[in-house]
């Protein structure tokens, strides 16, 4: 749920900090006051594509921050965990910075992210419906998604799509194999030789590093032994060795310590140093006992390294890449072996088609059942929206198997009684489309998991008694519970409206206004109390001159 929104230097907003509640909130204001700026700013925080010119005149950048509570939004929580961006408070901060030169930066919980990530997460938080959103309902893909979401078939539809792609890929592989059988046979023979040679060489990147280190050690064996002996002589064997000299210092300090206890610290430090030197001396002794000159092994290593270099030049890779080349070659061999085995490839293709068909048929059954219920529910809502006798129908038409399933989905509508249903695009006028869209949202919202819904003047072209019904439907959306035992609403509906009938039904009311400050037009938003709501409703009802009669009417509307 959206908890707060902060806007800085955005279009005609200087500074704006808003807090939001659950339930039904209305946003009103005079034409041109900037009601849609709120939606535009929030959309940017949710990952919408940034357009130029959003920074306020004279400013270097615009900034939008939105805080969400995701305690009940498991999908958002899981997304954050997968992206390693979660926090323990189940609070989510989205931030977007838009620079005047067009640059943009996005943040989730303080971490820099891509705008694509912001958009992906934003789709789990807020649904925004504008006048233009009505037109998306005319697209077949939108109609299909509406039905699948309503029927809780989205996961199954995704499985169907994935298995169709699997089958299609195998089908293409089989056709390709049949077409290029001779070419693949030659490539497979070459790969067998390559894999055999690389397997016999048996070298990985870590093996190559170890081999070079071993060769370096053996090549410098004489220097290592001679140098080790010199170090041991200087450390412990010579007349003036370090350990003998330090032992003399130790003995002298121990005698002096009797006269001044302050020297105890120096004695202890020297004792520790001598212990370390003794450990070093023992290490050198062990090393020199094991050190040897092994010319035969060095010759063997020289030959192996030369063989590796020859092979790497042959296949045009670095020595450390030979192990990876072997893995890739084996994978390609397995792929070509499948191509060569027509029976196995056909078997896999048939199994993939069978799995797809079973899932697609299951999807079809679910769609058919849901289509009848969705049609009846939306038809019922149409009657409430003054489309008396109107009828809505979800038509399923068989089609050639595809990634979307075994049927095409089309929304059909009849605006009034006595006419045949037609496609939504052909049958609905602008006003009817707006009302039908609202009916669809009301019916399907009960199946949606998105906690926040924003409607941007979806009630355009509606008036009279229908406007009041629209308000009641929107209020109903805001009152939906997310669970049987939830005491308060977890659904949040924000509506930008010009209709007093809708505004009067809001649980919370925000008003947008603009003013001239220092020769600049600035927009602001205020939370209205009861008296202010009466005044705002009166303005919406009465226009320029607000009379006492208009105020009384507004008060009656507010009291219900």
> What is the percent of the chain with per-residue pLDDT over 90, rounded to a whole number?
30
pLDDT at 181: 67
CB-count exposure of residue 47 (10 Å: 0-12, 13-18, 19+)? buried
pLDDT at 96: 94
Whether the predicted pLDDT of 19 surpasses 50:
yes
Same domain (yes/no): 512, 538: no
pLDDT at 483: 45
Q: What is the dihedral of CA 12, 17, 22, 26, to 10 degrees?
A: -30
Dist CA 433 CA 133 (whole Å): 10
pLDDT at 217: 78
Same domain (yes/no): 521, 550: no
Write the DSSP symbol of residue 450: -
User: How large is the average pLDDT for residues 163-176?
Assistant: 90
pLDDT at 103: 87
Same domain (yes/no): 460, 559: no
pLDDT at 369: 96
Same domain (yes/no): 544, 556: yes
Residue 15 inside a domain? The answer is yes
User: How large is the average pLDDT for residues 371-379?
Assistant: 94
Dist CA 314 CA 318 (whole Å): 10
Closest CA to 17 of 54, 55, 67: 67
Least confident of 43-47, 375-379, 455-459: 455-459
Confidence of residue 509 (pLDDT cuts 50, 70, 90): very high
Whether the predicted pLDDT of 128 surpasses 50:
yes
Residue 258 inside a domain? The answer is no
Closest CA to 438 of 471, 482, 395, 394: 471
Per the model's pLDDT, the better-predicted residue between 542 and 126 turns out to be 126
- The count of structural domains within the chain is 2
Dist CA 219 CA 302 (whole Å): 10
**Helix, strand, or coil (residue 192):** helix
CB-count exposure of residue 422 (10 Å: 0-12, 13-18, 19+)? middle
> What is the percent of the chain with per-residue pLDDT over 70, rounded to a whole number?
91
How many whole angstroms from its chain centre is CA 231?
Answer: 60
pLDDT at 15: 84
Least confident of 186-195, 227-236, 261-270, 515-524: 515-524
Same domain (yes/no): 515, 533: no
Same domain (yes/no): 555, 497: no
pLDDT at 233: 85
Confidence of residue 176 (pLDDT cuts 50, 70, 90): confident
pLDDT at 487: 37
Whether the predicted pLDDT of 239 surpasses 60:
yes
Interval 293-333: pLDDT, tens: 777 888 888 888 999 999 999 999 999 999 899 999 999 88
Same domain (yes/no): 90, 20: yes
Per the model's pLDDT, the better-predicted residue between 344 and 495 turns out to be 495
Residue 265 inside a domain? The answer is no
Residue 195 inside a domain? The answer is no
Dist CA 169 CA 352 (whole Å): 10
| Contacts with 462 (C-beta within 8 Å, 6 or more apart), sequence order | 431, 434, 435, 470, 499
Residue 429 inside a domain? The answer is no
**Beta carbons of 78 and 54 less than 8 angstroms apart:** no
pLDDT at 97: 92
**Beta carbons of 54 and 102 less than 8 angstroms apart:** no
Same domain (yes/no): 554, 490: no
Interval 99-108: pLDDT, tens: 988 888 999 9
Q: What is the CATH number of the domain that holds 10?
A: 3.40.50.300
Write phi, then psi, for 17 (nearest 5 degrees): -130, 120
pLDDT at 394: 96
Write phi, then psi, for 482 (nearest 5 degrees): -95, -5
Whether the predicted pLDDT of 516 surpasses 80:
no
DSSP string across 19-33: E--SEEEEEEE-TTS
Dist CA 395 CA 432 (whole Å): 19
How far, in Å, are 248, 264, 325, 498 from residue 257 at the CA level?
Answer: 14, 6, 69, 95
Whether the predicted pLDDT of 484 surpasses 50:
no
CB environment 326-344: b (16+ within 10 A), e (fewer): beebeeebeebebbeeeee
Tokens 């700013």 identify what position? Answer: 41
pLDDT at 187: 79
Range of the domain at 547: 529-560
pLDDT at 301: 86
Dist CA 465 CA 472 (whole Å): 11
Whether the predicted pLDDT of 489 surpasses 50:
no
pLDDT at 485: 37
User: How large is the average pLDDT for residues 29-57?
Assistant: 81
Residue 474 inside a domain? The answer is yes
Same domain (yes/no): 105, 11: yes
Count of residues for the chain?
A: 560
Same domain (yes/no): 20, 67: yes
Whether the predicted pLDDT of 360 surpasses 90:
yes
**Beta carbons of 26 and 503 less than 8 angstroms apart:** yes
Residue 501 inside a domain? The answer is yes
Whether the predicted pLDDT of 413 surpasses 80:
yes
Same domain (yes/no): 555, 459: no
Whether the predicted pLDDT of 33 surpasses 70:
no
CB-count exposure of residue 70 (10 Å: 0-12, 13-18, 19+)? buried
Same domain (yes/no): 475, 539: no
Residue 400 inside a domain? The answer is no
Mean pLDDT of the chain: 85
Write the DSSP symbol of residue 547: P
User: How large is the average pLDDT for residues 31-54?
Assistant: 80
pLDDT at 486: 37
């Amino acid at each position: 749920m959206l908890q707060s929104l902060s806007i800085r230097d955005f279009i005609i907003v200087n500074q704006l900090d808003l807090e939001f509640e659950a339930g039904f909130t209305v946003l009103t204001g005079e034409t041109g006051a900037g009601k849609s700026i709120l939606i535009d700013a929030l959309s940017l925080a949710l990952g919408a594509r940034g357009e130029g010119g959003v920074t306020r005149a004279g400013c270097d950048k615009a900034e939008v921050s939105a805080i969400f509570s995701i305690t009940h939004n498991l999908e958002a929580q899981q997304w954050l965990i997968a992206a390693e961006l979660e926090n323990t408070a189940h609070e989510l901060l989205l931030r977007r910075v838009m620079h005047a030169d067009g640059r943009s930066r996005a943040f989730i919980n303080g971490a820099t992210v891509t705008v694509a990530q912001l958009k992906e997460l934003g789709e789990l938080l807020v649904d925004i419906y504008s006048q233009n959103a009505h037109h998306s309902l005319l697209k077949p893909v939108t109609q299909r998604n509406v039905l699948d979401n309503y029927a809780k078939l989205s996961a199954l539809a995704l499985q169907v799509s994935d298995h169709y792609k699997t089958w299609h890929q195998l089908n293409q592989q089989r056709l390709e194999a049949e077409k290029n059988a001779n070419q693949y046979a030659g490539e497979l023979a070459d790969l067998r030789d390559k894999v055999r040679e690389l397997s016999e060489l048996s070298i990985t990147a870590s093996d190559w590093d170890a081999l070079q280190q071993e060769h370096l050690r053996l090549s410098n064996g004489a220097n290592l032994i001679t140098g080790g002996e010199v170090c041991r002589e200087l450390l412990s064997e010579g007349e003036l060795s370090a350990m003998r000299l330090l032992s003399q210092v130790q003995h002298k300090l121990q005698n002096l310590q009797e006269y001044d206890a302050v020297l105890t610290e120096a004695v202890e430090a020297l004792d520790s140093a001598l212990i370390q030197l003794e450990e070093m001396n023992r290490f050198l002794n062990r090393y020199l006992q094991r050190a040897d000159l092994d010319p035969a092994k060095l010759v063997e290593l020289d030959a192996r390294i030369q063989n590796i270099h020859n092979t790497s030049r042959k296949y045009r890779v670095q020595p450390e890449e030979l192990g990876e080349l072997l893995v890739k070659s084996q994978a390609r061999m397995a792929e070509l072996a499948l191509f060569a085995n027509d029976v196995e490839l056909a078997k896999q293709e048939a199994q993939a088609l069978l799995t797809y068909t079973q899932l697609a048929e299951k999807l079809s059954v679910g769609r058919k059942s849901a289509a009848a219920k969705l049609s009846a529910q939306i038809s019922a809502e149409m009657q409430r929206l003054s489309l008396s006798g109107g009828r809505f129908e979800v038509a399923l038409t068989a089609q050639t198997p595809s990634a979307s399933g075994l049927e095409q989905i089309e929304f059909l509508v009849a605006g009034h009684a006595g006419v045949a249903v037609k496609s939504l695009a052909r049958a609905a006028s602008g006003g009817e489309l707006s009302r039908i869209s609202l009916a669809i949202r009301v019916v399907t919202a009960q199946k949606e998991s998105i906690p926040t819904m924003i409607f941007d003047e979806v009630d355009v072209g509606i008036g009279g008694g229908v406007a009041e019904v629209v308000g009641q439907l929107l209020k109903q959306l805001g009152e939906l519970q997310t669970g049987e035992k939830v005491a308060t609403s977890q659904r949040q509906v924000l509506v930008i409206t010009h209709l007093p009938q809708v505004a009067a039904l809001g649980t919370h009311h925000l008003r947008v206004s603009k003013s001239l400050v220092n020769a600049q037009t600035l927009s602001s938003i205020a939370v209205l109390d009861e008296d202010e709501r009466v005044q705002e409703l009166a303005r919406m009802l009465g226009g320029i001159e607000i009379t006492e009669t208009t105020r009384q009417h507004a008060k009656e509307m507010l009291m219900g």
